[in-house]
C-alpha cells in the first residue's frame, strides 16, 4: 500500500482528537505488532491494528474512518493486555468509531435486522451491537 504523508495531514487535529477521546498517547507505539499478532479479528480487517495506530499518528483520517477495520474490532482487549508500551489500542479504535457515530454515521441499520434474528439472538448481543455500531 502506498501512503502519501503530508505536514497538513499530520497537523490536521485528527491525531489529537483520537488521543483525547481515548485518553491515550498514540506516540508511545513503537510498532512491535503484538496487537495485530494476537487480534482475533485481524484476519478480517483491511487495516490491521498496528497499522491503524501508525496511520492515526500520521493523521490519515479518511483512510481510517472509511475502513472496515474500525467496525471489526470487538473490544476483546487482547491487544491492550499484551501491548508492551501500555497503549490501549481498543480505546483508540473506539474513538475512531465514536467520531463516526457522533456524526450520526451508523454502521448497523437496526431496522434491517430480521424479526427472526431479533427473536433468536440474545439481548446482550443485540444491545452490544447497537452500543458499538449506532449513535
Partner 1 sequence: MKLSYFPGCTLKNHARNFEDSTLFAMDKLGVEAVELDRWNCCGTVFSLSADDLMRQVAPIRNLLRTSERGDSQLMTGCSMCFNTLKRANHRARANGEDLARMNDFMYDEPVDYAGDVDVLHVLEVVRDQIGFDAIREQVVKPLEGLRVACYYGCMLVRPNEAAIDDAENPRVLEDLITVLGGEPVDFSHKTECCGAHQTVDKPEIIADKTYEILGSAKAQGADTVAVSCPLCAFNLDHRQEATLKIHSDFHSMPVVYFSQLMAIALGGSESVLRLDLHHTPPGPLLTGKGLL
The reply to whether 45 sits near partner 1 by the rule CB under 8 A is no
Site string for partner 1, 4-43 (x = CB under 8 A): ----------------xxxx----------------xx--
What is the full DSSP assignment across 89-107? HHHHHHHHHHHHHTTT--S
CA dist list (Å): 123 to 84, 104, 119, 126, 130: 35, 23, 9, 5, 10
Looking up cell 479518511 gives 62
Q: Which three cell numbers stand for residue 29?
A: 507505539
Q: Beta-carbon neighbour count of residue 91 at 10 Å?
A: 17
Closer of 11 and 134 to partner 1 (Cβ)? 134
The correct pick among 6, 76, 106, 135 for binding partner 1 (CB under 8 A) is 76
The correct pick among 44, 66, 103, 105 for binding partner 1 (CB under 8 A) is 44
22, HSE (Cβ side, Cα atoms, 13 Å):
25
The reply to whether 80 sits near partner 1 by the rule CB under 8 A is yes
Give me the residues that bind partner 1 (CB under 8 A), please.
Answer: 20-23, 40-41, 44, 72, 74-78, 80-81, 88, 90-91, 94-95, 98, 108, 113, 117, 120-129, 131-133
Amino acid at each position: 500500500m502506498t501512503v502519501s504523508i503530508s505536514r497538513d495531514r499530520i497537523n490536521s487535529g485528527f491525531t489529537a482528537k483520537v488521543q483525547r477521546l481515548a485518553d491515550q498517547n498514540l506516540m508511545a507505539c513503537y510498532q512491535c505488532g503484538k496487537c495485530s499478532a494476537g487480534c482475533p479479528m485481524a484476519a478480517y480487517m483491511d487495516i490491521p491494528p498496528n497499522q491503524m495506530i501508525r496511520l492515526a499518528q500520521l493523521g490519515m483520517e479518511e483512510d481510517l474512518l472509511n475502513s472496515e477495520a474500525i467496525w471489526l474490532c470487538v473490544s476483546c482487549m487482547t491487544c491492550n493486555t499484551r501491548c508492551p508500551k501500555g497503549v490501549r489500542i481498543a480505546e483508540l479504535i473506539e474513538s475512531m468509531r465514536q467520531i463516526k457515530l457522533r456524526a450520526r454515521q451508523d454502521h448497523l441499520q437496526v431496522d434491517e435486522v430480521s424479526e427472526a434474528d431479533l427473536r433468536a439472538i440474545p439481548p446482550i448481543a443485540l444491545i452490544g451491537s447497537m452500543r458499538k455500531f449506532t449513535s
